[in-house]
Amino acid sequence: MGTRSDWHQTVTTIAGTISVLLIAVGLYFTAAANRDTNAATLKQEHLTEQGQVTDRFGRAIDLLGSNELDVRVGGVYALERLMHDSPADEPNIIEVLSAFIRDHTPESITARSNATTSPCRSHTTTSKRRPAHPSDDAQAALTVLGRRPVLAGSHLHIDLTWADIAGASLLHANLTGADLRCAGLTGAYLIGASLRDASLRWACLIGVDLTGADLTGAHLPYTNLTRAKFTGADLTGADLTGADLTGADLTSADLTGANWPSDTPVPHGWARDPDSGLLKRASEQTSSAP
């Protein structure tokens, strides 16, 4: 039979164990409560942040609808700031700015309604009624679209179909995959711009400067490229079916795999591949001959 001291020691041990368990349980529930509180706080902060984004977006849209040019320009740059602060809203902002550009080039509507066989003909006939360059607000929107932050793996779509943005300054602009079908870009500056996989079917690019531009895989069927400057441009895999290249400067341009117009002489130093019909360097053609 155990002594009194043994019994006392056992009780003390049990009491200590229970105390430890109670402390552990208390800590567990305290931590759980803290987690719930933190989760609720984070949720509230997220909702507050989203509310602020929504308010900023709404105010910027209101600015775009102003009758004052300077106010509209401010709205454009407000959307750019929001695009940086809230990447999740970037697609919506790009859509809004694209629509803003189309809506602020009224000549585009005239061109569309008057178009016959070639939209470029309509852009040319309306040239006397439009300014030599886009309005300041439209140019600001173009600038913002051209320097937008591009998220990894994102597939953002710029829709400027039928937009008459002749004389626009888009130096080094990122217009990868942009839809520029039937757009008027006469005299535009696209030096160093990225137009990879962009669609430019029936577009009017008379006298456009594409020096050093990346047009890899670009779609240019039936595009008017009269006097266009392609010095050092990359046209690898570009589709130029039916394009008008009268007077175009193709010095040092890379035309590897380009689909060249059937009725246009192949540039010096290039030849049609006998199998695919696509362009390849003439030296490759010569070296492959038996």
Which pLDDT tens digit goes with each residue over 149-167? 665 445 568 999 999 999 9
Percent of the chain clearing pLDDT 70 (strictly above):
69
The more confident residue out of 274 and 4 is 274
Q: Which residues are CB-contacts of 60 (< 8 A; sequence separation ≥ 6)?
A: 75, 78, 79, 82
- pLDDT value of residue 125: 42
- Among 65-69, 101-105, 120-124, the range scoring the smallest mean pLDDT is 120-124
Q: What is the mean pLDDT of residues 3-11?
A: 62
Cα separation, 214 vs 232, whole angstroms: 9
Q: 207: how many CB neighbours lie within 10 A of its CB?
A: 19
- pLDDT value of residue 54: 86
Length of the chain in residues, anyone? 290
pLDDT at 285 over 50: no
Q: 261: how many CB neighbours lie within 10 A of its CB?
A: 18
Q: What is the mean pLDDT of residues 257-281?
A: 95
The tokens describing 220, both together, are 């240019």
Global pTM reads: 0.75
Cα separation, 94 vs 28, whole angstroms: 48
Q: What is the mean pLDDT of residues 51-78?
A: 90
- pLDDT value of residue 117: 45
- pLDDT value of residue 210: 98
**What Å distances lie between residue 188 and 82, 99, 122, 133, 223, CA to CA?**
28, 20, 17, 8, 14
State the average pLDDT for the chain.
82
Q: Do 64 and 141 meet the contact criterion of CB atoms below 8 Å apart? A: no
Residue 288: what residue type?
A: S
pLDDT at 49 over 70: no
The tokens describing 186, both together, are 């006469």
Cα separation, 142 vs 262, whole angstroms: 34
Percent of the chain clearing pLDDT 90 (strictly above):
59
pLDDT at 189 over 60: yes
The more confident residue out of 98 and 121 is 98
- pLDDT value of residue 31: 66
pLDDT at 91 over 60: yes
Residue 146: pLDDT band (50, 70, 90) is very high
Q: What is the mean pLDDT of residues 63-68?
A: 93
The more confident residue out of 127 and 177 is 177
- pLDDT value of residue 128: 45
The tokens describing 172, both together, are 């080094």
Cα separation, 189 vs 168, whole angstroms: 6
* Segment holding 14, helix H or strand E: helix 4-64
- pLDDT value of residue 256: 98
Query: Torsion angle, CA of 163/166/168/173, rounded to 10 degrees?
Result: 60
The more confident residue out of 165 and 37 is 165
Enter the DSSP assignment of 247.
T
- pLDDT value of residue 215: 98
Beta strands in the chain (DSSP E): 270-272, 279-281
pLDDT at 52 over 80: no
pLDDT at 119 over 80: no
Closest to 166 (Cα-Cα) out of 108, 231, 246, 97: 108
Q: What is the mean pLDDT of residues 245-258?
A: 97
Residue 230: pLDDT band (50, 70, 90) is very high
